A = this chain, B = another copy of it.
Amino acid sequence: MRTSYLNIKTEVMNRIRQNIWPPGAIVPGEVALAQEFGCARATVNRAMRELEQDGVLERKRKAGTRVKHAPSQKAHFAIPLTREEIVAGGNAYRYVLVDKAVVPVPVWLRAKMEIEKGAQCLHLKCMHFADGRPYQFEDRWINLAAVPKAAEADFEKVGPNEWLVRQVPYTEGKVDVSAGAASNDVSELLDVDVGSPVFVVERTTWLDGHGVTFARLHFPPTYKMTTRF
């Protein structure tokens, strides 16, 4: 085809990189570009809309389209299932359930997930291994009021994350990433020294505003979360 929206995207990017359209400059309107490229406005529109999503352009009705001063950089991290992540890395995956208990929801968790008082929850401790080496320690809490079926699952074969994603898909959530010090438990399970650095990912998940699950994932300091942008 003569003019694809992709061609327009790359052409626009070229002009920006070559400083023909410097940061802050206003870009010709859609009608003008459509005429220049000899295509329909809808085609230009799609190209420009995607460039806006990519963080390169700023668009406002009436004001027109401008080149962003500082392109908003976004790192886009995928959050795969641990099993898939390990297998994708070419390693053998092994999962072990370390501990399982039904307990009243602790106060800190109630605050974090906005759970009603007196609810019961399932507390799981799991290990994930890659080629026999400790890969991740998963400290997981599941709100049984939100997911009653979890009480019947045994979690011996399938990890809670994988189970949950099948039972309660399409949830909303929050992710916190940080560095922490290995506690006694964690250091033993991950086979690192007490107090040494541990990479921590915390995930809180809601469904329709109800707290579903909270997980704290601990990785040895060899672990890196990587992405390109």
Query: CB within 8 A of A79: which of B74, B170, B178, B180?
Result: B74
- Could you tell me the dominant secondary structure of chain A's interface residues? strand
- Which chain B residue has the least Cβ–Cβ distance from A23? B169
A121 contacts B by Cβ under 8 Å: no
Question: Once the chains are docked, how many angstroms separate the CA of A73 from the CA of B82?
Answer: 12
The answer to whether B71 touches A169 (Cβ under 8 A) is yes
The answer to whether B70 touches A78 (Cβ under 8 A) is no
Contacts of A77 in B (CB 8 A): 74-77, 177
The answer to whether B198 touches A179 (Cβ under 8 A) is yes
Q: Which of A162, A179, A181, A223 has the most CB of B within 10 A?
A: A179
Contacts of A179 in B (CB 8 A): 179-180, 197-200, 219, 221, 223
Contacts of A199 in B (CB 8 A): 177-179
Question: Once the chains are docked, how many angstroms separate the CA of A183 from the CA of B81?
Answer: 33
The answer to whether A226 touches B75 (Cβ under 8 A) is no
Question: Once the chains are docked, how many angstroms separate the CA of A186 from the CA of B75?
Answer: 25
Interface size (A, Cβ < 8 Å)? 48
Query: CB within 8 A of A71: which of B17, B165, B223?
Result: B165
The answer to whether B69 touches A221 (Cβ under 8 A) is no
The answer to whether B76 touches A74 (Cβ under 8 A) is yes
A13 contacts B by Cβ under 8 Å: yes
Contacts of A223 in B (CB 8 A): 178-179
The answer to whether B17 touches A170 (Cβ under 8 A) is yes
Please give the residue numbers on chain A whose beta carbons come within 8 Å of chain B beta carbons, in ascending order: 13, 16-17, 23, 56, 69-81, 162, 165-166, 169-170, 172-181, 195-200, 219, 221, 223-229
Can you show 22 pairs from A to B with CB atoms below 8 A apart? A13-B170, A23-B169, A72-B78, A74-B79, A76-B77, A77-B177, A79-B229, A172-B228, A173-B228, A173-B229, A175-B226, A175-B227, A175-B228, A175-B229, A177-B224, A178-B223, A179-B179, A179-B199, A179-B221, A180-B221, A181-B197, A197-B198
